[in-house]
Structure 1
Amino acid sequence: MRSLPRIVLEPVVRTALLEDLGRAGDLTTDSIVPAGATATVQLVSRDAGVVAGLPAALLAWELVDPTIAVEVHLPDGSRVAPGSVIATASGPARGLLTGERVALNLLGHLSGVATSTAAIADVIAHTGAKVADTRKTIPGLRALQKYAVTCGGGSNHRFGLDDAVLIKDNHIAVAGGVRQAVEAARAHIGHLVKVEVEVDSLSMLAELLEVGADVVLLDNFTPAQLREAVTMVDGAMVTEASGRITPETAVPIAEAGVDLISVGWLTHSARVLDIGLDHLSST
Structure 2
Amino acid sequence: MKTEIIPLDTRQVAELARHDVEMALAEDVGHGDLTANLIDRAKTARARIIAREDAVVCGLPWVKAALTALDPKVHLTMHLEEGQRCSANQTVLEMEGSARALLTAERTALNFLQMLSAVATKTAQYVAAVQGTGTQIVDTRKTLPGLRLAQKYAVRIGGGANHRIGLFDAILIKENHIAAAGGVAQVLAKAKGHSAGAAFIQIEVETLDQLREALEHDATMVLLDNMNLPTLRAAVELNRTVGTPRKIGPAILEISGGVTLEGLRELAETGVDRISIGTLTKDVRATDYSMRFDAL
TM-score by length of 1: 0.95
Q: Does the alignment pair 1:170 with 2:163?
A: no
2:102 paired residue number: 96
**Distance in 1 of aligned mates of 2:198 and 2:168:** 12
Query: For 2:21, which of 3, 13, 27 is the aligned residue?
Result: 13
Question: Which is further off, 172-181 or 35-44?
Answer: 35-44
Kindly indicate whether the alpha-carbon contact (under 8 Å) linking 2:171 and 2:198 is maintained by their aligned counterparts in 1: no
1:49-128 → structure 2 map (5 Å cutoff) = 49-128=55-134
2:213 aligned partner = 207
SS in structure 2 of the partner of residue 90 of structure 1: strand
Range with greater deviation from structure 2 (191-200 or 176-185)? 191-200
Q: What SS does the corresponding residue of 2:128 show, helix, strand or coil?
A: helix
Moved over 2 A (4+): 1-9
Q: Does 1:149 align with 2:165?
A: no
Post-superposition CA distance 1:214-252 (Å, at most 9, x none): 211011111222111111112611111011212111110
Contact map agreement 2:222 2:254 (CA 8 A) in 1: yes
Aligned-partner Cα distance in 2 for 1:194–1:20: 39
Would you say the 8 A contact 2:226–2:256 is kept in 1? yes
Corresponding residue of 2:290: 276
Post-superposition offset of 1:191: 7.2
Structure-2-length-normalised TM-score: 0.91
Asked if 1 retains the 8 angstrom alpha-carbon contact of 2:195 and 2:201, the reply is: no
Matched-pair contact (CA < 8 Å) for 1:42–1:278: yes
Post-superposition shift, 1:28? 0.7
Task: Give the counterpart of 2:34 among 27, 30, 33.
Answer: 27
1:190 aligns to 2:196 (yes or no): yes
2:105 is aligned with what amino acid? G
One of 246, 265, 273 as aligned partner of 2:279: 265
Q: Which residue of 1 aligns with 2:243?
A: none
Contact kept, 8 Å, 2:137 with 2:161, in 1: the verdict is yes
Alpha-carbon shift at residue 192 of structure 1 (Å): 6.0
Distance in 1, matches of 2:197 and 2:217, equals: 16
The CA distance in 1 between the partners of 2:198 and 2:126, in whole Å, is 31
Which residue of the partner structure matches residue 246 of structure 1?
260
- What is the RMSD computed on CA atoms of the aligned residues? 1.4
**Structure 2: how far apart are the matches of 1:196 and 1:224?**
22
Number of matched residues?
A: 280
8 Å CA contact retained: 1:218, 1:241: yes
Structure 1: gaps spanning 5 or more residues: none
Among candidates 205, 221, 224, match of residue 218 of structure 1: 224
Question: Which residue pairs with 2:3 in the alignment?
Answer: none
Deviations 1:34-92 (A, max 9, x none): 21221111111111111111101210011011111111111111111111211111111
Correspondence for 1:40 among 13, 32, 46: 46
Structure 2 gaps, min length 5: 1-6, 241-248
